[in-house]
């Protein structure tokens, strides 16, 4: 199974810095993510609109060439590039991955889409998508329906519930997004505590 890292965001709240290329524990945030994911996955794909940013990494690059800017087209590009039917899709700004939780998700009977659900809220950028989603995403984009969840009624979706998630990640760190410098500093503090 492949892991697809979505790296198409504009980092608009990071005061001009490209957040996933910021220094992060001796490397970049995306480099840190890649290193962690390589302990579980043999294929890592970065889905991006700018392939030149990631030439130094020993991973496959999938170029999102839809005019639309957003995660839905990035998911599509990653799924198209993957050699695997099921794929973990993860946001590039979620460095607090819990590999035991991911392995638990991979061990489920996988539908077209497996999504964590916490307090009624979905986590579509920490989910497992199958290639069955490709055509449905294309149809959604053609209809100018750009929200990730717009195509869900057309595929088989299963949820990983909060109680299950907390068995592996009691603080739900896996779903923490780094959007601001305060978030960045907070994540580093959490990692230092976990060490």
Binding-site residues from annotation for GTP? 6-8, 19, 64, 93
* Short-list 106, 122, 111, 113, CA closest to 3: 106
Distance separating alpha carbons of residues 71 and 64, to the nearest angstrom = 10
Which of 72, 161, 89, 101 has the alpha carbon at shortest distance from 130? 89
Q: From 59, 177, 180, select the one nearest 124 (Cα to Cα).
A: 177
- Going by the annotation, the residues of the binding site are 6-8, 19, 64, 93
Do 141 and 79 touch, CB atoms closer than 8 A?
no
Feature table: binding site for Mg(2+)? 93
């Amino acid at each position: 199974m492949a892991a697809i890292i979505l790296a198409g965001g504009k980092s608009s709240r990071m005061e001009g810095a490209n957040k996933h290329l910021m220094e992060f524990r001796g490397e970049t945030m995306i480099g840190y993510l890649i290193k962690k994911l390589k302990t579980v996955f043999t294929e890592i794909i970065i889905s991006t609109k700018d392939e030149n940013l990631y030439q130094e990494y020993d991973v496959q690059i999938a170029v999102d060439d839809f005019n639309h800017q957003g995660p839905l087209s990035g998911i599509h590009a990653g799924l198209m590039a993957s050699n695997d039917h099921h794929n973990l899709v993860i946001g590039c700004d979620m460095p607090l991955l819990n590999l035991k939780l991911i392995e638990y998700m991979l061990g489920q009977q996988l539908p077209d889409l497996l999504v964590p659900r916490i307090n009624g809220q979905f986590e579509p950028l920490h989910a497992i998508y199958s290639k069955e989603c490709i055509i449905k995403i294309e149809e959604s984009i053609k209809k100018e329906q750009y929200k990730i969840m717009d195509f869900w009624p057309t595929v088989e979706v299963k949820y990983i519930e909060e109680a299950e998630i907390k068995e592996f990640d009691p603080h739900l760190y896996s779903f923490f997004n780094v959007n601001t410098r305060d978030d960045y500093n907070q994540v580093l503090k959490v990692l230092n505590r976990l060490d």
